[in-house]
């Protein structure tokens, strides 16, 4: 099983949707966090340590992670999903976008178990 950390800004809509979508997949343990000081759950050293792979919604999230956790990120793949902050939690389009992009990055079956 691989530990997958989903990151957005405030951990309100995009990354919690991704976590919800993928948390029951048999090959994945999913967690979500945000880069903003106002995030519902701010990304921590423990999150980075736990993660095997990190999926960020935008390039700026990757930059913030790299700035804050430089050494810890060595050898950890970080993928930018390019999903803008245009969606609410569990928005149908957001779910579709995540179902389209995440499986190919992780090399898994594209049908998460809701």
Tell me the pLDDT tens digit for each residue of 2-48: 999 999 999 999 999 999 999 989 999 999 999 999 999 999 999 99
How far is 26 from 12, CA to CA, in rounded Å? Answer: 25
Angle between helices 92-106 and 14-22 (to 10 degrees): 60
Mean residue pLDDT of the chain comes to 94
Q: Are 39 and 66 in contact (CB under 8 A)?
A: no
The 8-class DSSP code of residue 71 comes to G
Global confidence as pTM: 0.94
Give pLDDT, residue 9: 97
How far is 24 from 28, CA to CA, in rounded Å? Answer: 7
Taking 70 as the threshold, does the pLDDT of residue 113 lie above it?
no
For the sheet with 28-34, list strands across it: 28-34, 2-8, 53-56, 78-80
């Amino acid at each position: 099983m691989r530990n997958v950390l989903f990151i957005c800004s405030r951990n309100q809509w995009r990354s919690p949707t991704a976590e919800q979508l993928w948390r029951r997949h048999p090959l994945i343990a999913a967690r979500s966090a945000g880069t903003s000081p106002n995030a519902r759950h701010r990304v921590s050293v423990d999150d980075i340590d736990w993660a095997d792979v990190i999926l960020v919604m935008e390039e700026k999230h990757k930059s913030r992670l790299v700035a804050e956790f430089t050494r810890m990120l060595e050898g950890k793949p970080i993928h930018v999903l390019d999903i803008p902050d245009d969606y609410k939690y569990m928005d149908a389009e957001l779910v579709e976008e995540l179902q389209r992009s995440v499986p190919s990055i992780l090399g898994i079956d594209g049908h998460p178990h809701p």
